[in-house]
Structure 1
Amino acid sequence: MTLLPSSQHVCAMALSCLDDSDNRLQSFDLSDADWRELEVKNRRLHHLRMDCCSAAVVLKRSSRGTKFFAHRIAGPCTSADESEEHRHLKMMAVEIARSSGWQAATEVGGTTPTGEPWRADVLAVKGNAKVAIEIQWSGQTNAETLRRQEQYRLSGIRGLWLLRQPGFPIVHDLPAACIGGSLADGFQALIPAHERMLARHRRLPESWRQALPMDAFLRAAFERRLGFLTPLEAVGENATIVVETAIADC
């Protein structure tokens, strides 16, 4: 994901777009026949547009057959293309969220109460609860991750991060896991034991506090079965605590 100077990030390739009635279309929700029909209709009417910048849309497939929407003409809304891994993880998150009873869509945008724009890779909604799933395949500073997490908090959204780059903060306000594995072998969610985890540790699941299949991790998140342990608790070290008691009249 590439950040624009305005701090609003957009995708040159997307799994969703808007039609002329502002309905959101998800590429992975369409059958092959529906996709071909939509492609023909869009060539004739040019009725589809990118949600990020309202640019005209062209329908494409990746080398692995993944359907996606792209800008018809390169313009001011330019960024590096998302990787196939990024798109796959977004689709996985939507599928698992929906199967767990949430409404979910990709590339949903909004603004904070102060007017700062944000765009979530996946936004899942269930009643009053909102969760943004961010897949950060490219490198990003911890300060930028925390800044964007604060945008979600201010917007009443809980952010969950899947980061390819390890070494991120282990704090309650930043639920996160490192992405291990690959498209070919399947993805893992790697739970760090400390903030000094390195990229080479991705190949060594035993180096992490916990390693589990990514789909199992996401399902636990949407079923509210994830809990937070401090780094001290996670590595099983001893700690000194003080317990204070008092008598209260009832």
Structure 2
Amino acid sequence: MSLKCTSNDQELLSIDFDNEGWENLRARNRKDRALKMTCCGADVVLRQTKLGTQYFAHAKKGRCTAVTDTAEAMIAREAIAKAVRRAGWNASLEMPRAPVEEGGWTLDVQADREGGKPVAFKVQWGRLPLDEVAHYQAMSQAAGIRTLWFMRQQSIPVEKATPAFRLSHDVDTNTCFVSLPGPCYHPVFASSKNSEGPNYWQQHVDLGSFVEGALAGKLRFAPQVGCTLPLDVCVAYTECWRCKKTTGLVIDLCFAASRVLQGAADVTANIYDFDDERRGADLLMATLPVETLARHGIGAIKPRFSRTEGRTCLSNGCIHCDALQGRFFDHEVAYDAQPVLSVDVLFDDRWVSHLEDRDAIDRWWFDDRPCDGAAEDAPQS
């Protein structure tokens, strides 16, 4: 099964023919048998999958080792190739990059344009171990090609070096969709039982639109970094253990990326993430000064000596008597915390370097806003 063949050494692509042109080509081929398979030179017959994709097949398979693909994989490749062209790039289909004895590595669609680096797209409908994905990606990188993977399986890589996304086919609309891993997704724990949860998949995009957007620079890794984000301060109010008066405790810090970058994950931290050789404390204290917190009934955040921990550490304090409100008090009232104030911050390395949990950050994000130029982490880079 192939989307291309040759005719007198000229390459023909099935996507170039409408229904009438396809039938005319079929009739001509019956007469002159000029169409040949690119894989082995065998005679060609023209066929159509159950999902409507036109393709070239062996008139007689013989000893050819070319694999038979699913209808879903074929319609996905067709959608990718057409999207590449709509984006203004040249599309090359089924580009072999290694002989069969070396694994039969083939790029399903390669996008090229003058003055730019090639971008390839790989459709993987059958299961493939992640170490093999890494192997093929390394071969692709060595060839100077940036490859994006569309994989049906639940377990996919989540890393900048290997852009990988889940591929599905909607039977009702006969359309392929791309899903991006959300902040709770981890390939080790992905399974058929939990893989459909809303926290696992953050965005769902039509495959053609996704390819066009990726080539236009709309695909970014760790999109929150470098953006100005609202920092929501979540506070709970409790009784101070010393003076018995009500004081506010900062429980969570939420960098609300979703309000700026639709579909991007929010990033949550707490004040103890910034208790690091004063750098983090200074940053947090400058962002949430005493005067700002006091207007909301919240005590100062600053380093205080903790007898429990035997050291000076960043902490909440009582707004009335400044007594240290330890982590124990935070845990006791954490479920009552609500956003009380919000300030805009530049979410750069000063913040990111203090976060132990980067799962919400180190994810791909598709920008569906009007394109204003290629992004730094666009696949063509």
Shorter chain as denominator, the TM-score bin is 0.7 to 0.9
In structure 1, C-alpha distance between the alignment counterparts of 2:11 and 2:170, rounded to whole Å: 29
- Range that drifts further, 170-179 or 191-200: 191-200
**2:28 maps to which of 29, 32, 41:** 41
In structure 1, C-alpha distance between the alignment counterparts of 2:12 and 2:94, rounded to whole Å: 11
Equivalent residue, structure 2, for 1:155: 143
In structure 2, C-alpha distance between the alignment counterparts of 1:200 and 1:215, rounded to whole Å: 28
Equivalent residue, structure 1, for 2:353: none
Q: How does 1:91-130 map to 2 (within 5 A)?
A: 91-111=78-98, 118-127=105-114, 128-130=116-118
Q: 1:183 to 1:202 in 2, by over 3 A?
A: farther
Deviations 1:69-101 (Å, cap 9, x if unpaired)? 001112222455212211111111111111111
In structure 1, C-alpha distance between the alignment counterparts of 2:212 and 2:192, rounded to whole Å: 25
**1:198 maps to which of 191, 195, 214:** 191
Does residue 215 of the first structure (1) align with residue 203 of the second (2)?
no
CA contact (8 A) 1:190 1:205 kept: no
Equivalent residue, structure 2, for 1:133: 121
In structure 2, C-alpha distance between the alignment counterparts of 1:142 and 1:27, rounded to whole Å: 32
**1:55 Cα deviation (Å)?**
2.0
Matched letter for residue 187 of structure 1: C
**1:142 Cα deviation (Å)?**
0.8
Equivalent residue, structure 2, for 1:187: 176
CA contact (8 A) 2:72 2:169 kept: no
User: Taking CA–CA contacts closer than 8 Å with sequence separation of 6 or more, which of the two structures ends up with the larger relative contact order?
Assistant: 2
In structure 2, C-alpha distance between the alignment counterparts of 1:181 and 1:75, rounded to whole Å: 32
In structure 1, C-alpha distance between the alignment counterparts of 2:179 and 2:211, rounded to whole Å: 12
Q: How large is the Cα RMSD of the aligned pairs?
A: 2.9
Equivalent residue, structure 2, for 1:61: 48
Does residue 142 of the first structure (1) align with residue 142 of the second (2)?
no
In structure 2, C-alpha distance between the alignment counterparts of 1:216 and 1:33, rounded to whole Å: 27
Q: SS of 1:199's equivalent?
A: coil
CA contact (8 A) 1:191 1:208 kept: yes
Equivalent residue, structure 2, for 1:247: none
CA contact (8 A) 1:55 1:71 kept: yes
CA contact (8 A) 1:180 1:203 kept: no
Does residue 74 of the first structure (1) align with residue 61 of the second (2)?
yes
Q: Percent identity?
A: 27
Residues paired across the two proteins, number: 228
Matched letter for residue 176 of structure 1: A
More strand by share: 2
Q: 1:35 to 1:191 in 2, by over 3 A?
A: same
In structure 2, C-alpha distance between the alignment counterparts of 1:64 and 1:187, rounded to whole Å: 11
Q: TM-score, normalised by structure 1?
A: 0.79
Equivalent residue, structure 2, for 1:28: 15
In structure 2, C-alpha distance between the alignment counterparts of 1:35 and 1:202, rounded to whole Å: 40
Q: 1:29 to 1:110 in 2, by over 3 A?
A: same
**1:148 Cα deviation (Å)?**
1.2
In structure 2, C-alpha distance between the alignment counterparts of 1:116 and 1:163, rounded to whole Å: 18
Equivalent residue, structure 1, for 2:76: 89
Q: TM-score, normalised by structure 2?
A: 0.54
Q: 1:69 to 1:181 in 2, by over 3 A?
A: closer
Deviations 1:112-139 (Å, cap 9, x if unpaired)? 9xx9863211111112321111110111
In structure 1, C-alpha distance between the alignment counterparts of 2:106 and 2:200, rounded to whole Å: 33
Does residue 236 of the first structure (1) align with residue 267 of the second (2)?
yes
Deviations 1:42-77 (Å, cap 9, x if unpaired)? 223222111222222111122344321001112222
Equivalent residue, structure 1, for 2:367: none
